[in-house]
Amino acid sequence: MMESKKKVFSLYDIVMIGLMAAVVFVVTMFLSIRIPTPTGTTMIKLANAFVLLCGLLLGPVRGGLAAGIGSMIFDLMTPEYAPEAWITFLRFFLMAWLCGVIAYAGAAAAKKFARNLVACLAGAVFSSLLYMLKGLTAAVPLSALEAVGGMLFPLPGALALNTAGVALAQAGPYWMGRLRQTDLTALTARFPRLSLYLRPGPRPGRTVFLL
């Protein structure tokens, strides 16, 4: 009899990924302070520590998936962040992945304090750099982020992730505009000429993605 192939993820792996993803989501949702800024809302949160913990406990790939999925779910449930949910997944996946790679290098198995400390610092610094680059659209265009997805995942997964990312990036702002159409009344009252271009009413959502 042929020996059955070993599964990529065991039931234990799936349960742990789901559990740590839930922890990251809950900590992000309830243990954070939101600070409005001229360029958008930023957050002071403890979730980054749990993202690094994912890498230490589960290793590079499983920890990366847990951190990325938990962070992405939070973004999807927050209209302001929903269009960038897939970017959030990549950022925190890479943060936990780098931490896990360093912590588990050689025979360390995340059991050496000094190595774990270096792993956490490297992951935190790398995530900060990604966050700064994300704000510079000229430096990191959408096509570059799609290329990163192609390097990290096999073809079917990369295509699915990039398609979902583009759809969210386009449809997210569209639905936010649809939900806030009542604000156009005050805006057009202040600037009458805008009424020629800003006309509340139904718009076919599919055209947003196609454009």
Q: pTM of the full predicted structure? A: 0.59
- Taking alpha carbons only, the member of 31, 73, 69 closest to residue 49 is 31
For 143-165, write each residue's pLDDT tens digit: 666 676 777 777 777 777 777 76
| pLDDT-derived band at 21, boundaries 50, 70, 90 | very high
Residue 3 has pLDDT above 80, yes or no: no
Instruction: State the DSSP H helix or E strand holding residue 136, giving kind and residue range, or none if neither.
Output: none
What is the average pLDDT score of the chain? 75
Residue 6 has pLDDT above 80, yes or no: no
Which of the given ranges, 121-135, 152-166, 171-185, has the highest pLDDT on average? 121-135
